Amino acid sequence: MEPASQPHSNRYSLLTTLCQTRGVLSALVVGEALALIISFSVSALENFWVVLGQVSLLVQFIVSLSFALLYALNGIRAQLSDNIQAGAVIGTLVLVTFMTTLYISYLALFAEQAPVWFVIKSCAISALVAALFVQFMAIYNEHAKAHSAYASAQLDALQARIRPHFLFNTLNTIAELAHQDAHAAEDSALALASLSRAAMNVGKQSTLNDELQLAQRYIALEQWRFGTRLAVQWSIPDMVHNIAMPCLTLQPLLENAVLHGVEASATGSLIEVEVYLSEQSATVIVSNSVSANSESKRSHNGIALANIRKRLAILYHGRARLSQHRFDNRYRVKLVIPRMESFNESINR
């Protein structure tokens, strides 16, 4: 089940973006660039570094104090429209600039400048730079929204390719069981309901624990078909439930292991599922024995693995890996995903 996450509009709001690490760093860089430009324009070469230090201190103080105030507003961003948020950002920067330069003028730290003109000029520069920065962040947010929508469309398309083949196999299993064991057919139908519910969660977030339970239901379903030919050995740690993972990531790996290791062999196959956890990542290894008959079906396996790789690339931005190897008569698929409780952690990095 997908944990609660912040709404799409709030995730890409101006205040949310500014209060992230990337937004704060961008503001500090823009502020320092502004300080450098001002220093070049008002100072002679011999005292450039002194002026640069003074201006940098002033600008970074204004930026830091403004962001502290904006961070307080971030808690009520859901109640503010985009235009109000933009006005709040510009207004906060101008207000902080006004109060800071007014205090500096009162202390006569810049005696060579007229106090009133110094305050007015500083506020005008602050308003202009803030307006340009807000416009830049708005463009960035629109691009992020478009990229997110495109990624969601890709996930929908990729997930839809998995669903028909998966449902076709399970429906065939129930049809066969209906003629042999009505009670087994009922249990299989309940298992299919759980699997179908997961298949309908297109492009949504699940957990490693839920994915393992889903894979176990699928294996239980397939064991009605293959009996003793299908043997599965599970090596799973106790605590895996908080690790985010896309829906229907493990089940296709088990389905391929059944298809190429069990169905293609007259004697069956031993499927091994191993899960290893570290502080940074979670690793899932699915291995099965292979026979010569399975080689003709290996192209379907490549399609399924390519599908999963694309979904992982969209959600984890290159931080997840899926690899496959063959050692003698065993085929192994290795999945490595970063440990996180939400895909939003990957988006914000």
Distance of CA 316 to the CA centre of its chain: 5
Cβ atoms 96, 69 nearer than 8 A: yes
169 contact partners, CB below 8 Å, separation of at least 6: 255
pLDDT mean over 20-41? 85
d(CA 31, CA 126): 10
CA dist list (Å): 263 to 50, 231, 325, 340, 347 = 78, 12, 20, 36, 40
236 contact partners, CB below 8 Å, separation of at least 6: 212, 273, 275
Phi and psi at residue 194, to the nearest 5°: -65, -45
Phi and psi at residue 83, to the nearest 5°: -65, -40
pLDDT of 234 reads: 94
Share of the chain above pLDDT 90, in %: 17
Tell whether the model's pLDDT for residue 164 goes beyond 60: no
Nearest to 6 by CA among 84, 75, 81: 75
pLDDT mean over 10-20? 76
Tell me which of 200 and 92 has the higher pLDDT: 92
- Structure confidence by residue, pLDDT tens digits, 75-133: 776 667 888 888 889 999 999 999 998 888 877 655 555 678 888 888 999 999 999 98
Pairing mode of beta strands 230-235, 269-277: parallel
Please, where are the H alpha helices in 81-181?
A: 82-107, 115-178
Tell whether the model's pLDDT for residue 331 goes beyond 80: yes
pLDDT of 6 reads: 44
Residue 116 exposure: Cα atoms within 13 Å on the Cβ side: 0
Tell whether the model's pLDDT for residue 263 goes beyond 90: no
Q: Which residue has the tokens 């192994």?
A: 332
C-alpha radius of gyration, the chain, whole number: 29
